[in-house]
Structure 1
Amino acid sequence: MASSIPLLETLEITLSASGVAELAFNRPSRYNALSPLAYRDWLAAIQWASKCDAVKVVVLTGRGKYYTSGQELQEPDNSPEGKEFVKKRRSVTKTLVDELINFPKLLIAGVNGPAIGFGVTTLALCDVVYTVPEATFNTPFMKLAFCAEGCSSLLFPRIMGISKANEMLLMGRTFTAPELVECGFVSRILPLEGFCNQVLALAEEAAKFSTDALAVTKKLIRDVDRQELLKVNEIEMIRLTERMKAQDSQDAINAFVEQAKRKKVAKLAKQQQLRAKSRL
């Protein structure tokens, strides 16, 4: 069965003999930012895990210091080609969320570091969330003039309570791991040292259970609001597409991209200065 595991550029998949599939965001040098390819890889991995009989439990995690820094932003391209590209990208994102809503197996998130944007909203679609003590959680949608996504407009208030959800979605407050444990968004905090192995060990224990029993029970839990979640995802994606076309959002994205470029230039200049000093 190992030969059937997809080989993906931005996401690493491993499958244990007992049926635990680890899907790890694997762009550590870019803080596991979600490029268009990363969204497609994530979708391919989830679809594979859903259909593969050898997979009993799935663990989502990240390589490096970040879980994921969310969508990788680029300057808006308002050409016909650019608009078509964005349309396809939104379709992939919507399909990915639908797949997470409908995922029939136990889905565990192991948040190994900071999580941002789509990386946070999709945690609410996982069955269990574990995190390291140092992890932070932020959805900077208002800074970019976006809107809620990943069914967060429904699930965040339900899980966190209205006030905390609004602080995250409407005010962009960064939450700590203990805060999200307190409100029930995260199951529990595990030590940083050996975190990944601890999460995989918990998944291995779950993989010993009856696959059918897990599937039936998850279906009972999810069927209560499955259709509502699918509808919410559809509406959120329509509104997000509208928002990203709006001038205020495009201005915010351009400002973010320019600031990132300036930081990169400054970082390179500092590195050059340090190298020059080391040669003296």
Structure 2
Amino acid sequence: MTDHVKIDREAGVLTITLARPEKKNALSNAMYGALADALEGAETDPEIRVVVFQADGDSFSAGNDLGDFVAQATGAFTEERHVWRFLKALANATRPLVAAVHGQAVGVGTTMLLHCDLVFVAPDARLTVPFVNLALAPEAASSWLLPARIGHARAYAMFALGEAVDGATAAAWGLANAVVPAEDLRARARAAADQLAKRPLGALTVTKGLMRDAEAIAALMDKEGALFAQRLQTAEAREAFMAFAERRAPDFSKAG
């Protein structure tokens, strides 16, 4: 359990709030575990009809806690990695998923949105997937889902160059349903969730199942995960994390 993920249940809606604002909601292993537990539980709870993701503080999520990455790269991480449970829960979710996104949405903070059915963003949202910057590989089936959503050229620029997408652009490109003033963001996401909660759950489940190939998505996550784990052990990744810790630009020419 962790205090960094808050869970609320009301009127058929499960609201999951990332609550680690002092770290810009960087996701620790414990947080991934809490997220996975919540999504898995929603699948078996007949009272839950919709799930909403939101976040406290000035950012949606800074992505994976880099301390965990460093620990994995050095062999110091010995716990069960709950990130895989969370990603598989996203892939296999049958309940509608809604997200309210503001500020930074880095790495998994963006790739998880590709599994959400409705996404609302504030104008200050900045979506980034800088895996190459960290000498890593895409995850959460984003190597397929992101180019399928926005096209190869745009997706490649986000992956390889680390280009950020603001709220207005995210909506224009189809990564989000709408740009909403920050003060109205949570209310807009909740209103959408309330609407969904009143729809026939069986019909929503069938519709989502037809629109997504959960088995193919999960299989790609496994492939990406294996490559991601390999990349964590490379000299390039060690240089990227060392440079981050030392607050300098990485020099990958010496890591090849």
Q: TM-score, normalised by structure 1?
A: 0.83
- What's the counterpart of residue 172 of structure 1? 162
Letter in 2 for 1:46: L
Secondary structure of 1:255's counterpart equals helix
1:189 correspondence with 2:183 = no
Tell whether 2:150 aligns with 1:160. Answer: yes
State the alpha-carbon separation in 2 of the partners of residues 102 and 221 from structure 1: 12
1:252 aligns with 2:252: no
The Cα of 1:258 is off from its aligned counterpart by 2.8
1:124 to 97, 105, 114: 114
- The answer to whether the aligner puts 1:226 opposite 2:211 as a matched pair is no
Percent identical pairs in the alignment equals 28
How far, CA to CA, are the matches of 2:190 and 2:182 in structure 1? 14
Gaps of 5+ in 1: 1-6, 261-280
Superposition RMSD on alpha carbons, in Å? Answer: 1.7
Q: Which residue of 2 aligns with 1:214?
A: 204
Matches within 5 A, 1:68-217: 68-74=61-67, 75-76=70-71, 82=76, 84-85=78-79, 88-89=80-81, 92-217=82-207
In the TM superposition, residue 150 of structure 1 has moved relative to its aligned partner by 0.8
Q: How far, CA to CA, are the matches of 1:182 and 1:192 in structure 2?
A: 18
1:112 CA drift (Å): 2.5
Q: Could you tell me which amino acid in structure 2 is paired with residue 168 of structure 1?
A: M
| 1:15 aligned residue | 9
Change (3 A) 1:247 1:49: same
1:50 Cα deviation from its structure 2 partner: 1.7
Number of matched pairs: 246
CA deviation after TM superposition for structure 1 residue 241, in Å: 0.1
State the partner residue of 2:253: none
Which residue number in structure 1 is paired with residue 44 of structure 2? 51
Check 1:79–1:187 CA distance in 2 against 1; reply closer, same or farther (3 A cut).
closer
| Aligned amino acid, residue 32 of structure 1 | N
SS at match of 1:32: coil
TM-score (norm 2): 0.91
Q: Which amino acid aligns with 1:239?
A: L
Paired residue for 1:242?
Answer: 230
- Give the match for residue 37 of structure 1: 30
Q: Give the deviation of 1:113 after TM superposition.
A: 2.2
The one-letter amino acid of 1:128's match is: L
Offset from partner CA, 1:52-85 (integer Å, 9 cap, x none): 11111111111111111101112446666x2534
Greater C-alpha radius of gyration:
1
Distance 2:74 2:185 in 1: 45
Opposite residue 243 of structure 2, the aligned amino acid is A
Residues 73 and 257 in structure 1, CA contact (< 8 A), matched pair in contact too = no
Question: Would the aligned equivalents of 1:76 and 1:253 in 2 still touch at CA under 8 Å?
Answer: no
SS at match of 2:161: coil
Q: Which runs of 5+ in 2 are unaligned?
A: 249-256
- Is the 8 Å Cα contact of residues 76 and 250 (structure 1) preserved in structure 2? no
